[in-house]
Amino acid sequence: MTIIQFTNVNKYYGDFHVLKDINLTIQSGEVVVILGPSGSGKSTLLRCINRLEDISSGELIVDGFKVHDKNTNINLLRQEIGMVFQHFYLYPHKTVLENITLAPIKVRKMNPEEARKGAMELLTKVGIPEKANAYPSQLSGGQQQRVAIARGLAMKPKIMLFDEPTSALDPEMIGEVLDVMRTLAKEGMTMVCVTHEMGFAREVADRIIFMDEGRILEVGTPEEFFNNPKEERTKLFLSRIL
Ligand code: ADP
Ligand code: MG
């Protein structure tokens, strides 16, 4: 079942043509990794999915919602999508548990006790149940990012978007965050991930999308992409990072 569909999508920032004729269909349960050089439009593409950025032309349908249509109730769609950024954006004056339960209680109108129970389950899933009453500043970067993932999951989203979730972390903390993402992927979560972690991309992605200068240049399985890239630009990219 298709859950995300870009059809001839273009986006401009003023005069700057940042996304060029994007056609991309993502199936429910698929894990898609977006690779490409800095400035190629990866974050913009991701942010269009929950309309953190508006598209300029074309059609974008996500979980049945017409994202391109100004009349669409975008808040309903956003409840279905969790997003994790490079920086965690946790509320500094709220505990870990409060960070996770805030949206479910406010937005989903979940009963607070039920929300806390769900949050504890999620903290167990990301491996830090003992941090429930800690404040973000008392956690390592890797732990904070795992809380951010738990917070995203607390809304029971159908789609999780990850924008370089490990890029701001010290190397020894990258693995623990990738492990959580790997678990989510195995459980069948639909995931669109921008990352520079090639091991993760190779192992976990169902499909790799390679972007350059606002275009999708190449799409393939990890096997095809890493072992037999077709485009010169892809080969150059891979030669620089591998
Ligand atoms: P990536 O995530 O691949 O590094 P981005 O989507 O962040 O790429 O950015 C693509 C291009 O769009 C870059 O040249 C960037 O400078 C530009 N850009 C990003 N956000 C904005 C914005 N809000 N206004 C104008 N230009 C932007
Ligand atoms: Mg980016």
State the distance from the centre of ligand 1 to the C-alpha of 187, rounded, in angstroms. 32
C-alpha 12/C-alpha 214 separation (Å) is 10
Does any ligand 1 atom lie closer than 6 A to the CB of residue 11? no
CB atoms within 10 A of CB 78: 19
For the chain, residues with pLDDT lower than 70 are: none
Output the CA 38–ligand 2 centroid distance in Å: 7
Q: Which residue's CA is the nearest one to ligand 1's atom 7?
A: 43
Considering only CA atoms, which of 120, 170, 110, 112 is closest in space to residue 141? 170
Q: What is the per-residue pLDDT for 181?
A: 98
Which residue from 192, 195, 191, 150 is spatially nearest to 169, judged by alpha carbons? 195
Six token digits for residue 211: 């972007």
Q: What does pTM read for this prediction?
A: 0.97
95 lines ligand 1 (CB under 6 A): no
Displacement of CA 66 from its chain's centroid (Å): 19
Identify the residue whose C-alpha is closest to ligand 1 atom 11. Answer: 39
> pLDDT value at position 242?
76
Tokens of residue 140, six digits: 């390592």
User: What is the pairing mode between strands 207-212 and 215-220?
Assistant: antiparallel
Where helices occur in the chain by DSSP H, the ranges are 42-49, 74-78, 96-106, 112-125, 141-153, 171-186, 198-204, 222-227, 232-241
- Cα 40 to middle of ligand 2, angstroms: 8
Ligand 1 atom closest to the CA of 14, numbered from 1: 25
Sheet of strand 81-84: strand arrangement:
81-84, 159-163, 190-194, 31-35, 207-212, 215-220
Please state, as a whole number, how many other Cβ atoms lie within 10 Å of the Cβ of residue 97. 20
pLDDT at 88: 81
Ligand nearest to the CA of 87: 2
Q: Is 43 in the pocket of ligand 1 (CB under 6 A)?
A: yes
Distance CA 98, CA 96 (A): 6
Whether 39 lines ligand 1, by a CB cut-off of 6 Å, is: yes
Please tell me the distance from the alpha carbon of residue 132 to that of residue 196, in angstroms, as a whole number: 30
Closest atom, ligand 1, to C-alpha of 164: 2
Residue 5, pLDDT score:
98
- Output the residue whose Cα is nearest ligand 1's atom 19: 44
Which ligand minimizes its atom distance to the CA of 38? Answer: 1
3-class secondary structure, 3: strand
**Residue 19 C-alpha to ligand 2 middle, in angstroms?**
13
Measuring CA to CA, which residue among 31, 28, 24, 23 is closest to residue 1? 28
In this prediction the ipTM stands at 0.98
CB of 157 sitting under 6 A from ligand 1: no
